[in-house]
């Protein structure tokens, strides 16, 4: 029998445990596995490659996350010479990513720029202009299910290319740090997914650039 001293903590911790469990399995509930590819060879045909931006350092160097996305976009370009739409938060981010693509021998005429991609939702809204084209979104797996769900909500047909499955990097961090980063990304995207589903995303997106 649980003593009185333990009743209150259990009452508090049990709901928190189930919330954490629910958020953890959210990507599995909305995985869109039939729309996500992990290799360029398996990717379906596409007219447009959509590269979702991420952090770029003040010196113009790409963070590992966005560099992985850019390298994955190059793999898709090598398979099929489709334009790459670089969508990011402002000129510095987008231009830095575009410059990196140019250094990877992507011709400038195949690079399109969208400076209005302040977050995932803003980029999806931009994609409405390309509604009639076959699109493949490039990002990490933890992010793609949210992109595809948002796109479908806006009537945009998008497939996903998992950059972290197609391009592998050895991060100079400990095993425990890797676990923390992966868990943080998974929970953050699940939380943002439900905030969007509850029609609170526009308010919340001002607090997070994702």
Alpha helices (runs of H) in the chain, residue ranges in sequence order: 4-29, 64-79, 91-103, 120-127, 141-153, 163-166, 175-197, 201-204
The pLDDT of residue 98 is 98
| 209 confidence band (pLDDT: 50, 70, 90) | very low
In a domain, 184, yes or no: no
We report the CATH number of the domain holding residue 145 as 3.40.50.620
Q: Are 40 and 70 in contact (CB under 8 A)?
A: no
Q: What is the pLDDT of residues 3-62, one digit of tens each?
A: 555 555 667 777 776 677 767 677 667 668 889 999 999 988 899 999 999 999 999 999
In a domain, 88, yes or no: yes
Rounded distance between C-alpha atoms, residue 162 and residue 167, angstroms: 9
Q: How much of the chain, in percent, has pLDDT values that exceed 70? A: 82
Average pLDDT for residues 77-84, to the nearest whole number? Answer: 95
Phi then psi dihedrals of residue 112, to 5 deg? -105, 150
In a domain, 22, yes or no: no
Average pLDDT for residues 86-105, to the nearest whole number? Answer: 96
In a domain, 180, yes or no: no
In a domain, 164, yes or no: yes
The pLDDT of residue 171 is 67
In a domain, 156, yes or no: yes
Q: Are 82 and 46 in contact (CB under 8 A)?
A: yes
Structural domain boundaries, residue 163: 34-170
In a domain, 73, yes or no: yes
Place of tokens 């259990």: 10
For the chain, what is the domain count?
1
The pLDDT of residue 8 is 57
Q: What is the pLDDT of residues 150-176, one digit of tens each?
A: 999 999 999 999 999 999 876 666 767
* pTM, full prediction: 0.81
pLDDT of 102 above 90: yes
In a domain, 29, yes or no: no
The pLDDT of residue 210 is 46
């Amino acid at each position: 029998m649980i003593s009185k001293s333990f009743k209150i903590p259990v009452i508090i911790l049990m709901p928190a445990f189930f919330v954490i469990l629910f958020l953890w399995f959210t990507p599995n509930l909305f995985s869109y596995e039939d729309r996500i590819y992990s290799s360029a060879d398996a990717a379906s045909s596409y007219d447009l490659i959509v590269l979702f931006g991420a952090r770029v350092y003040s010196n113009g160097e790409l963070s590992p996350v966005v560099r992985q996305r850019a390298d994955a976009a190059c793999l898709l370009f090598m398979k099929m010479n489709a334009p790459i739409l670089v969508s990011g938060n402002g000129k510095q981010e987008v231009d830095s990513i575009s410059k990196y693509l140019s250094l990877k021998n992507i011709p400038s005429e195949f690079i399109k720029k969208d400076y209005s991609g302040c977050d995932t939702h803003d980029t999806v809204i931009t994609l409405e202009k390309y509604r009639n084209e076959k699109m493949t979104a490039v990002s990490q797996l933890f992010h793609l299910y949210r992109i595809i769900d948002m796109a479908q909500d806006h009537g945009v047909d998008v497939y996903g290319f998992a950059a972290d499955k197609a391009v592998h990097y050895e991060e100079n961090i400990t095993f425990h740090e890797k676990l923390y980063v992966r868990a943080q990304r998974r929970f953050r995207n699940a939380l943002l997914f439900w905030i969007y589903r509850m029609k609170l995303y526009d308010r919340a997106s001002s607090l997070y650039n994702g």
